[in-house]
Structure 1
Amino acid sequence: MRVSMTMSLPRQPSTATHARRVLTTLLSLTDAGEDTRANLAVLISEACSNAVIHADTDTAVDITISIDDHTCVLEVGNRGNTPDHSTLDAGLPAPLTVGGRGLPLIAALADTATFVAGPPDRVLLRITKHLTEVRSA
């Protein structure tokens, strides 16, 4: 089985919720276990939230979800700039710092996560998670 969906959502806080609902619906077609589903829900929520916060004003958040028998690939893109000197495996900020935890969380939960090179005014984050855990019947 292979299923793929692409959507362009407004740069609003509700974008993360809508994307998570679509992902949950698509994952219901798979045998992915609950922990894997929960991790993917966090991954898409964090990626979309970051896109909403950091995207250029009056632009959309573009989301692609691709699922096959073994892998889920999430791509979240927006108009803006790739974070300077930001790596997905960066350490957490000081405990009282507001923000800065999304990328380290994505790095911890994803099998792979990277910013994909593209046009200078576009940011694309590609996240891969293997669907190795099978839900019980």
Structure 2
Amino acid sequence: MRVTMTLSLPRQPSSVTRARHVLTTLLSLTDATEDSRGHLAVLISEACANAVVHADPGSTVDIAIVIDDDSCLLEVGNRGSTPDAGVGLDARLPAPLTVGGRGLPLIAALADTAAFVAGPPDHVLLRITKHLANT
């Protein structure tokens, strides 16, 4: 089965919840395990929260979800600047540990792959892949 969806949500905190609900609804159509579903819910929540916090004012949070038989691809984009374009994420927590700074290491730890990729000028695009374990 292949399921795809694109969303363009406003840059506001409630968009994080909306994105997570859409993804969990789409995953309910698959045989993905609860662990896979839970990891993906965290992944989209963290990626969208980062987009909401760090996007340029007036930007939208643009999301693409592609679910294939054994994998899920998430792309979360917005207008802004990329921390390290084309570089994979690091699962280590920042030192010193502050209030923020845990989202990208959490994404790196839970995803099979996660990296900022080239997109349109002045846009940030985070691409995340996760293998789906089936029940």
Smaller-chain TM-score bracket:
over 0.9
Task: Report deviation, 1:42.
Answer: 0.1
Structure 2 unaligned regions, length at least 5: none
1:124 maps to 125
Shift of residue 120 of structure 1? 2.8
CA shift, 1:7, in A, is 0.6
Mapping 1:48-127, distance limit 5 Å: 48-84=48-84, 88-89=89-90, 91-94=92-95, 97-127=98-128
Deviation at 1:105, TM superposition (A): 0.4
**Structure 1 residue runs of 4+, over 2 Å off?**
84-87, 93-96
Letter in 2 for 1:112: T
User: What's the CA shift string for 1:14-73, capped at 9, x where partnerless?
Assistant: 111000000000000100000000000000000000000000001100001000101100
Contact 2:84–2:116 (CA under 8 A) maintained in structure 1: no
Percent pairwise identity: 77
Q: TM-score w.r.t. structure 1 length?
A: 0.92
**TM value normalised by structure 2:** 0.93
Q: Distance in 2 between matches of 1:134 and 1:6?
A: 24
Q: Which residue of 2 aligns with 1:45?
A: 45
Provide the rounded CA distance (Å) in 2 between the counterparts of 1:87 and 1:3.
26
Kept in 2: contact 1:81–1:120 (CA 8 A): no
What is the CA-CA distance between 1:91 and the residue it aligns to?
2.5
Stretches of structure 1 lacking an aligned partner (at least 5 in a row)? none
How much is the aligned-residue C-alpha RMSD, in angstroms? 1.6
